[in-house]
A = this chain, B = another copy of it.
Amino acid sequence: MSHYDKHVFFCVNQRPAGEDCCNNHQAQAARDYVKDKVKQLGLSTDERTMRINSAGCLGRCELGPVLVVYPEAVWYTYVDQSDLDEIIEEHLKNGRVVERLKI
């Protein structure tokens, strides 16, 4: 059994100016948004724990910005807040993969 039922890692890597990276797409802000929203919505409970983590480069820069949900190992890209809201509502809350954002 996984310690966290949903353990989400956002790549928040910042490369030097000129090189593309997830944080050029506001990845840190996206992670903070999801972390706050999960808290507001009370999605992490004693029975169903959830953690929204920041991480270094996840190695899939060409598809970035990226995040991964473990233990199910589902990877997503996202563009804006509505994409993040859909991942929260569908995947984190209801356990349904968001196929249109999956990479």
Interface residues of A (CB under 8 A from B): 1-4, 7, 9, 51, 53-60, 68, 70-73, 75
Contact = CB atoms under 8 A, between A and B. Distances in A.
Chain A interface, DSSP helix/strand/loop, else mixed? loop
A73 B64 CA distance: 24
Copies in the complex: 2
Given A70-B71, A73-B3, A56 B58 contact: no
A55 B55 CA distance: 4
Given A3-B75, A70-B70, A56 B59 contact: no
A2 to B, nearest CB: 4
B58 A51 contact: yes
Find the residue from A2, A56, A57, A72 having the highest chain B CB count within 10 A: A56
A9 B75 contact: no
